Amino acid sequence: MPVVTKQQPEDEGLVARMQSGDFDAFEEFFNTYKRPVYTTALAITRDPFLAEEILQDCFVKAYRVRQRLRTDCSPLPWLQRVTTNLCYSRIARRRAVAEPLTALISNLVADLTSRPDQIAESREIIEVLQRGIDALPPKQQTAVILYYLHGYSLAEAAEIAECNVGTMKSRLHYALKALRALLPAERRAPAGAAKVSTGEL
């Protein structure tokens, strides 16, 4: 999903028109950016209803502060920032009562070890990763979603997360390290994909 934070042709004048009171411009603004905002909210919350609430809250906020939005660059980084903040403020309480991750992982790993190798790439592995993503610290989780789901570049993800590129790299590194540690050694890679061929280099 190509996402860029630089001004796109369709962005030109959109925020300015909103600021001048053009209601159609706000609808266009909503339709242009609803998808990435909703995707981020859904990836973090995993709850379609909550994600839609956050989507609405994000655009209501954008409308209220439209006079302060910059017109010389894409509003998407700002929208993504607001979205992640809304998500983590909403799910803070749910995290506190979440089931301990270690127990879940232990159960899944116990099941996995009793099954043949061909299911290494199965639902259980993905489920372990899903739980692992949920358990990541918010900053690492945001980095993973921005970089690996949205496909932002390091610079763009860093801009959204309001950090420098080195920090973004560090967050991604620690996130992958944490996710990899959750998987049992023999299940860290699907069968046949564990070795990189030198030809790919």
Partner 1 sequence: MSCRRARREILEHFRFRQELGPSSSAHLEHLVGCADCREEVGIDRALVEQLRRALQERVEGHAPSAAAWDQVRQRTIDRPSRPLGARVLQWGRLFPAAIAGVLMFAIATVSQEGLSQGSQSPQPAGQVQQLDTAAAVDDTPDWEPPWWMKYRTRPPVPTIAGGPMAAQLPDMLGTSADMPPVSGRLQ
Minimum gap (Å) between residue 149 Cβ and partner 1:
4
Minimum gap (Å) between residue 16 Cβ and partner 1:
17
Minimum gap (Å) between residue 47 Cβ and partner 1:
10
Counting every residue written for the chain, the total comes to 201
Minimum gap (Å) between residue 138 Cβ and partner 1:
15
What 3 state SS string does 156-190 have? Answer: HHHHHHCCCHHHHHHHHHHHHHHHHHHCCHHHCCC
Q: With respect to partner 1, which residue has the nearer C-beta, 96 or 196?
A: 196
Q: With respect to partner 1, which residue has the nearer C-beta, 72 or 195?
A: 195
Q: With respect to partner 1, which residue has the nearer C-beta, 43 or 91?
A: 43
DSSP notation for 14-50: HHHHHHTT-HHHHHHHHHHHHHHHHHHHHHHH--HHH
Contact residues toward partner 1 (CB under 8 A) are 23, 26-27, 30-31, 34-35, 38-39, 42-43, 46, 48, 51-52, 55-56, 59-60, 63-64, 121, 125-126, 129-130, 133, 144-145, 148-149, 154, 169, 172-173, 176, 179-180, 183, 188-190, 193-198, 201
What 3 state SS string does 75-130 have? Answer: CHHHHHHHHHHHHHHHHHHHHHCCCCHHHHHHHHHHHHHCCCHHHCCCHHHHHHHH
